[in-house]
C-alpha cells in the first residue's frame, strides 16, 4: 500500500514528454483497444441505454462487473435510480447500435418522437431478448445485474454490479480503437520450436 501511495504522489511531479496531461492521457487511450458495449437500464426511473468502452470483469465469486459512467449523464442517473443494469457486449456487425446508443441518432429520434425536451427513446426498432427483465440487445453477450456499489472518480462514477443473468453469443467482438470501430483478426502463429 505504501509503495502505491508513493508512486501516486510523485505522478504529478514528472516533467517533459512523460507528463500525464489530459491530452496525452486521451492520446494514450486512443491506442488502447476496447470491446464496445451498451449499458442499459429499465425501472421506475425509466429506460435508457448508452455506448460504453469502460466495462470490465471484477470477480467470478460472486460474478461481478464494473462500468464507468460520466456522473452527470442521463444513463448514470437512471442506473443509480433503477439500481439495475445490463451490459451488452456488441458483435462486429452491431456498430450501428454503438452509434445509436452513443447518441448519434438522438436528433432524428427526438424529432420523429415529437419530443420538445430533447429526451428520446434510443430503443425504437431495436430487437430485445424477452427472456430478461433488463434490456438485453439481441445478438449481444449480456450481463444483467444489480448495482451493489457506486464510487465517484473524477468526472465519472464507477458502478459495480453483481451479475444475476447471462445472455450468450458466438459473434466476433466489435472493438473500438484509434477513434473507430474495428474487427479483430487472428495473429499468425509462429511455429513452436524445441
Ligand X SMILES: Cc1cc2nc3c(=O)[nH]c(=O)nc-3n(C[C@H](O)[C@H](O)[C@H](O)COP(=O)(O)O)c2cc1C
Which of these ranges, 15-23, 63-71, 123-131, 158-166, lies near ligand X under the rule CB under 6 A? 63-71
Residues 152 and 114: beta-carbon distance below 8 Å: no
How wide is the angle at C-alpha 132 spanned by C-alphas 36 and 35, nearest 5°?
10
Asked if 41 is part of the footprint of ligand X (rule: CB under 6 A), the reply reads no
Q: Establish if 176 lies at the interface with ligand X (CB under 6 A).
A: yes
The reply to whether 120 sits near ligand X by the rule CB under 6 A is: no
Residue written as cell 424477452? 130
Q: Where are the alpha helices (DSSP H) in 137-188?
A: none
Q: Which span sits near ligand X by CB under 6 A: 2-10, 14-22, 62-70, 80-88?
A: 62-70
Q: Which is nearer to ligand X, 104 or 139 (CB)?
A: 104
Asked if residue 73 binds ligand X (CB under 6 A), the reply is yes
Look up cell 458495449; give the residue.
Answer: 37
Length of the chain counted residue by residue: 194
Cβ nearer to ligand X, comparing 62 with 149: 149
Rounded Cα distance, 95 and 88, in Å: 12
- Told to check if 137 binds ligand X by CB under 6 A, we report no
Total of chain residues touching ligand X, rule CB under 6 A: 15
> Among 40, 41, 42, 53, which residue sits at the site for ligand X (rule: CB under 6 A)?
53
What lies within 8 Å, CB to CB, of 76 at 6+ separation is: 69, 70, 157, 159
Closer residue to ligand X (CB): 115 or 131: 115
Considering the rule CB under 6 A, would residue 161 count as an interface residue with ligand X? no
159 binds ligand X (CB under 6 A): no
Assess contact for 126 and 120: CB atoms under 8 A. Answer: no
Grid cell at residue 10: 510523485
Tell me the per-residue interface mask from 98 to 117 with ligand X, x by CB under 6 A, - otherwise: ----xx--------------
Given the rule CB under 6 A, which of 3-11, 71-79, 167-175, 183-191 is the region that contacts ligand X? 71-79
Contacts of 57 (CB under 8 A, 6+ apart): 64, 65
SS3 69: strand
Please report, as ranges, the residues that interact with ligand X according to CB under 6 A: 36, 50-54, 68-70, 73-75, 102-103, 176
Amino acid at each position: 500500500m505504501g509503495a502505491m501511495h508513493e508512486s501516486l504522489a510523485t505522478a504529478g511531479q514528472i516533467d517533459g514528454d512523460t507528463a500525464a496531461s489530459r491530452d496525452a492521457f486521451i492520446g494514450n487511450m486512443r491506442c488502447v483497444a476496447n470491446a464496445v458495449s451498451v449499458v442499459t437500464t429499465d425501472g421506475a426511473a425509466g429506460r435508457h441505454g448508452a455506448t460504453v468502452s469502460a466495462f470490465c470483469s471484477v470477480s467470478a465469486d460472486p460474478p461481478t462487473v464494473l462500468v464507468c459512467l460520466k456522473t452527470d449523464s442521463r444513463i448514470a442517473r437512471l442506473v443509480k435510480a433503477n439500481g439495475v443494469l445490463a451490459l451488452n457486449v456488441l458483435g462486429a456487425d452491431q456498430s450501428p447500435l454503438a452509434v445509436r446508443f452513443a447518441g448519434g441518432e438522438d436528433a432524428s429520434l427526438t424529432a420523429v418522437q415529437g419530443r420538445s425536451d430533447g429526451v428520446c427513446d434510443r430503443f425504437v426498432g431495436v430487437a430485445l431478448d424477452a427472456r430478461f427483465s433488463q434490456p438485453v440487445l439481441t445478438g449481444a453477450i449480456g450481463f444483467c445485474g444489480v448495482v451493489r456499489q457506486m464510487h465517484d472518480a473524477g468526472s465519472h462514477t464507477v458502478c459495480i454490479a453483481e451479475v444475476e443473468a447471462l445472455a450468450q453469443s458466438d459473434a466476433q467482438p466489435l472493438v473500438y480503437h484509434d477513434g473507430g470501430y474495428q474487427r479483430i483478426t487472428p495473429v499468425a502463429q509462429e511455429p513452436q520450436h524445441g
